[in-house]
Every structure is written in C-alpha cells, then in structure tokens.
Structure 1
Amino acid sequence: MLKDRLRPGDTVVDATMGNGHDTLFLTRCVSPGGHVIAFDVQAAALIETQKRVPAEMTTLVHSGHETMRAHVPMELHGKISAIMFNLGYLPGSDKTLITRTETTMIAVKEALELLKPGGLLTIAVYPGHEGGVEEGRSIAEWAVTLEPRRFEVQHLRPINRAAAPPELWLVWKRG
C-alpha cells in the first residue's frame, strides 16, 4: 500500500527502525530526492540500520517514537507522506525490550499531526508478544474515535490463523 502511494522526493517516517529493513524499504520508495527519518531507542538498531541505508537519504534518531514531533523539523509538520510503525521488539535481540502502550499512543497521536493531507499511517501490531494485546487494544480504542471526515481507518488481520496473528492498521488523513 505504501509503495503505490509514495513518490520520489517524499519525506516519510519509520517510527520503529528495528534492524532497518523498513527504513530501507522506505528509502527505495522515495528515491530519488526523498528522505526517511527513523527512530529507535536501541543503539543496536541504529548500528544495523546504518549498514543498510544510504546516509544521505536518512536521519537516524536514537530516541523513542514518542519524541517524533520534536525531532521532525517544524517546516515538515503536516507534510509527511507516510509514517510506519512496526510494534513489538527488535528481532534477534532482547524480547523484554518492547514498544510500550504509553509511548506508542503518544506517538500515533503525534503522527496524525505530522501527516500531510492524503498521508498514510501504518501500524503493525503483534498480539503474540508480551504487551502486544494491550497495545493492540489501545490502538483499536483510539482508532474508532478518529473523526471520519478527517480520517479513514482500516483494520486488517488474518482470520484463518490461530494464536494471535499480526494485525495491520491503516489510517489515511483526508484532505
């Protein structure tokens, strides 16, 4: 969905950098001339991501996604084409270091302010890890409160898989 919506020159945010796979995907979507701002609280995530992405197209921020608004330059507020969240933990690392409902909810609310009209917020939720059910429930409770005239919300999840399959939330900013 993102690949079809993004254009060369767009600015996007990877709110949960991880090992840099999503950051790399986003840089490819906005090349040439685009920029990706990516966030993670773990230094290991920045190190792994630096190995994968072109430095001239990325700003890697060693901070939680709840600080997004402070780290995205003011002149880009309301001009971000897409913001991607991939909640949970850094694959291949300590599974106790996870995204937290409190900071995630701050971040997704700020994300809507940063998006341009027509921009897309994606949130991948993994209910199978500790804290994932609570995080998913909070996203769902928040999403249903979004004003339909300003946002379109879709929720995708597999229905033929057992044991807490991942879920995807899509929020389009109308305008």
Structure 2
Amino acid sequence: MSNRIQDIQGFLRNILMTMIQAGDVVLDLTAGRGRDTLFLAELVGEKGFVHAFDIQEIALQETQRLLSEYQLEDRVRLHHCDHSRLLEKVQEPVQAAMFNLGYLPGHNQDVTTHATSTISALTAVFQLLRKDGVIALTLYRGHPGGLAEAVAVEDFLSDLPRRQYSVLRGEYTNQIPNAPYWILVQKNKGDNE
C-alpha cells in the first residue's frame, strides 16, 4: 500500500482495510487490470468472496492472470458484463464495493463507464450493502464523457437520505483542472435498510 496522498487508490485501500474483514463478501464493479480485485481478495481471506465485473474480456483476462499469480482465483468470481447487471449475478449482502470509473488504461479509450450504467450499479449496490458497508469510487473527469459521468454520479449521491448514508468527497486542490477525485459512501448503522 502506498502512503503517498497522490495515490488515490492507495488512499482508498487504506480506508477499506479498516472496514473489510476476513469472511466478507465484496464487489469490484470495474475489474480493469485486477489490482483492486487482488487487494479485495487478500482482505476477505479464505472464507470471504469477491465478485468482479468488467465489460471488456481483456480486463478480465488481466485480472485472472493477476489472481492466478497470487493463487487467489478461488476467492473471486469474474463477471463478463456491465456492472449495471449486478443484481442478476449477486444476491447476498456485501460489505464493500469499489468503482474505478473511466476507461482501461492502455486500451480503447472509447470503451468507458457511463453515468446511466454506473448509477444503475450504485442503486443495485445500495440494495445489497450491509449496515456500515462502504462504497469507494474513483472518478476521472479528463477523458471524453468523464466529466458528465462524474457530475451525474455526484448529483445522484447528493440526493441520498443523510440519515441512511454518509457521503464524503476528496480531491486535489492544487492539481490540474479535472484531476481525478474520490467519493466514499457509507450506509449508516442502525437505520432501516
């Protein structure tokens, strides 16, 4: 894990390490190169489970290769579909979900996440999220469509009932315009589901 504040994923992982326990079920809604999936598989341990989603076969191949290298593939199910189809694939309660929005670095930048499917996936996660569960999102605004997706996701999250959810946002204030930023959402303990 990185201790540099310039590393958004490392920062979010440090937070998630305090919220995910061995035996938990968690989601990686944008498997990408598999780094978040691997991190989650290590956290949940032998009795936990990770569901990882991606629309690109190459992303799932890279994720599978990484999991095999660390011998953790038995803790993960890879789903080759849009993350908006979450409820078709997962019905059990989850402790955490990660979204790393945008496109797969080094590959076709025309294949990106979109506001409509991301908001559908978030809506599905809310149905599965346990009390005290958390969602970590990394949003990128610098590519075509990225800013529109970020604005739509943020608008959607800002309308969540504050008694049921806490939403926290962090971003660089001294970096390039439209730098990546993060949002954490926690389902508040004690409220009805």
Shift in Å, 1:32: 2.9
Q: Normalised by the size of structure 2, how large is the TM-score? A: 0.86
Pairing 1:62-77 to 2, within 5 Å after superposition: 62-72=80-90, 74=91, 76=92
1:122 aligns with 2:136: yes
Q: Following the alignment from structure 1 to structure 2, what is the Cα–Cα distance between the partners of residues 163 and 152?
A: 26
| Equivalent position to 1:143, from 145, 152, 157 | 157
1:153 aligns with 2:167: yes
Aligned pairs, number? 171
Shift of 1:163: 2.5
Return 5+ residue gaps in structure 1 as ranges.
Answer: none
Cα distance in 1, alignment partners of residues 154 and 61 from structure 2 = 33
TM-score scaled by structure 1?
A: 0.95
Q: Report the AA paired with residue 64 of structure 1.
A: D
**DSSP 3-state at the match of 2:138:** strand
One-letter amino acid matched to 2:45: S
Residue 22 in structure 1 maps to residue 40 in structure 2: no
Match of 1:103 in 2: 117
The SS at the match of 2:53 is strand
Equivalent-residue separation in structure 1 for 2:154 and 2:113 (angstroms): 16
Tell me the alpha carbon deviations over residues 19-52 of structure 1, each in whole angstroms, 9 at most, x when there is no partner: 1011001111111311100000011011111111
Q: Does 1:56 align with 2:89?
A: no
Q: Kindly, what percent of the aligned residue pairs are identical? A: 35
CA distance in 1, matches of 2:122, 2:187: 13
Please report how far the alpha carbon of residue 129 of structure 1 lies from its aligned counterpart in structure 2 after TM superposition.
1.1
Q: How does 1:84-95 map to 2 (within 5 A)?
A: 84-95=98-109
CA-CA distance at 1:17 after TM superposition: 0.4
Q: Could you list the runs of 5+ residues in structure 2 that have no partner in the other structure?
A: 1-14
Q: Is the 8 A contact 1:112 1:121 kept in 2?
A: no
- The corresponding residue for 1:32 is 46
Moved over 2 A (4+): none
